[in-house]
Amino acid sequence: MKNMVQAYAAVDRIPTMHLDDKQPSPAEVAEIPCSVFLPNEEEVKTIRLDYVQQVKEVLVDNIPCFQNLEYEDSRVHLYEQHSSRRSNLVYPLGVLDKDEARIAEMVDIMEDYHQYVPGTRDENPVIIPLFGDGLSVERGFDAQDARINAGDPWQQLQGLHPSIQEWHKRGILLQDTFRLLFTPKKSARSAGSLSYIRNSYRQINVKEKVSACFNEATELLRFSTTAYIVASALTFMNCASIDDIPTDLQTQQDDLLLYMSEVAEKIVEMCFQPPNTVSILNANTSQKDIYKYCVCKNDIEEDMIRCNNKKCNRGKWFHYSCTDISNDEILSEEWYCCQVCKVSQTSYDVKDD
């Protein structure tokens, strides 16, 4: 079988030129607090409002007494206007008679695409993403590894950053969801489970491996979610079917809109589980997480320096390359991996005195 590759270029709809291309060191990454990666209180409220908005859409589309309602979409995104525009395809990059499964030919492919990277040879390239599926991304990194000993970032193909494309990200998330919810061997007879719904409505094309049935798996998940939302709404409205009229249904447009919003709020309240940020942060600082070597968590053949704080929980021993340590600091009698260790050690010394 003969393999070839095809690609096209598109203008980034969201401005990114203000972002720094410099890759942070392991020490800088370690300084980032875990709270940055967890939603704060305001973000949790925003997520909840987004869920309420999604539920409203389902209610308007599926319950007759709500179908004529017009409501304001309260969801706001920083780059909403940018993302709403159509993609501007510059031009196709053509078909290359190369097989990306072979490292040497993958290097040739990356070289061909690298000619479109902005910048001049006198400076570092402006890094741009090279999108593809998961396997193509791995092969892209392999090609860059094969050029790691080249003379400069241009020859090392560092101007391209292989990234998984949006459709493939959706596939990965969908697969994770199905691993959690779709267990035919365990729940096929459990009424209400995803496996039960799949069998009851004869969605036989849906399999555990969603890459072979992406559209069918997505449709089953949407269908099941919609059914649960409608069933929950009917329960809160004391109705047996979607054609029933709730006894407390409002007739005025504004009152009816408020009534629907209250139903949507109740549905979200029933199932919304915000992350326990405090518990996660406390677990991150437990003694079990203290690792013996460095912030990079790798035991590699390289000289190391010890943090002078005996109670250091960031690694105790650190590689020179991971700390950006200077020669003067190497010769110093006392060295601390971070300001926290230095301050805390000083307080210990004062107490001992």
Residues 6+ apart with CB under 8 A from 50: 75
The least confident of 92-96, 113-117, 263-267, 326-330 is 326-330
Q: What one-character DSSP code corresponds to residue 176?
A: H
Amino acid at 229: I
pLDDT, residue 350, reads: 44
Residue 292: per-residue pLDDT: 58
pLDDT of 267 over the 90 cut: yes
Tell which wins on pLDDT, 49 or 281: 49
Q: State yes or no: pLDDT of 299 exceeds 80.
A: no
Q: What pLDDT, in 10s, does the model give residues 135-183? A: 899 999 999 999 999 989 999 999 999 998 888 888 889 999 999 999 8
In three-state secondary structure terms, 350 is helix
Going by pLDDT thresholds of 50, 70 and 90, the confidence category of residue 318 is: confident
| % the chain with pLDDT above 70 | 88
DSSP-derived 3-state class of residue 174:
helix
Which range scores top for mean pLDDT: 94-98, 304-308, 310-314, 315-319?
A: 94-98
Q: What's the average model confidence in pLDDT over 230-249?
A: 92
Task: Please report the pLDDT score of residue 96 as a whole number.
Answer: 92
Q: How far is CA 148 from the centre of its chain?
A: 28
What is the average per-residue pLDDT within 194-203? 92
Residue 202 in domain: no
Q: How confident is the model at residue 235 (pLDDT cuts 50, 70, 90)?
A: very high
Indicate if the pLDDT at residue 120 is higher than 70.
yes
Least confident of 91-105, 190-204, 307-321: 307-321
Q: What is the pTM of this model?
A: 0.67
Task: Tell me the angle at which helices 253-271 and 41-62 cross, rounded to the nearest 10 degrees.
Answer: 120
The answer to the question of residue 245 being in a domain is no
| CATH code of residue 294 | 3.30.40.10
Is residue 321 within 8 A of residue 24, CB to CB? The reply is no
**Residue range(s) defining the domain that contains residue 314:** 290-352
Residue 178's nearest CA partner among 203, 208, 151, 204 is 208
Domain-embedded: residue 35: no
Q: If you ran DSSP here, which 8-state letter would residue 247 be given? A: T
How many CB atoms sit inside 10 A of residue 339's CB?
A: 9
Tally of domains within the chain: 1
330: in domain? yes
- Position 146 in a domain: no
Intra-chain end-to-end CA distance of the chain, in Å: 77
Confidence at residue 348, expressed as pLDDT on a 0 to 100 scale: 52
Whether 153 is in a domain gets the answer no
pLDDT of residue 316: 75
Q: Is residue 32 part of a domain?
A: no
Please report the pLDDT score of residue 92 as a whole number. 83
Q: For position 130, what pLDDT does the model report?
A: 93
pLDDT digits (tens, 9 = 90+) for 127-136: 899 998 888 9
Q: Summarize the confidence of residues 29-48 as an average pLDDT.
A: 86
Say what the pLDDT of residue 265 is.
94
Return d(Cα 352, Cα 178) in angstroms, integer: 57
Average pLDDT, the chain: 84
Residue 220 predicted with pLDDT over 80: yes
Give domain status of residue 185, yes or no: no
Q: Are strands 160-164 and 128-132 parallel, antiparallel or unpaired?
A: parallel
C-alpha to C-alpha distance for 294 and 303, rounded to whole angstroms? 11
Query: Across-strand partners of 318?
Result: 305
Q: How would residue 290 be classed by pLDDT, with cut points 50, 70 and 90?
A: very low
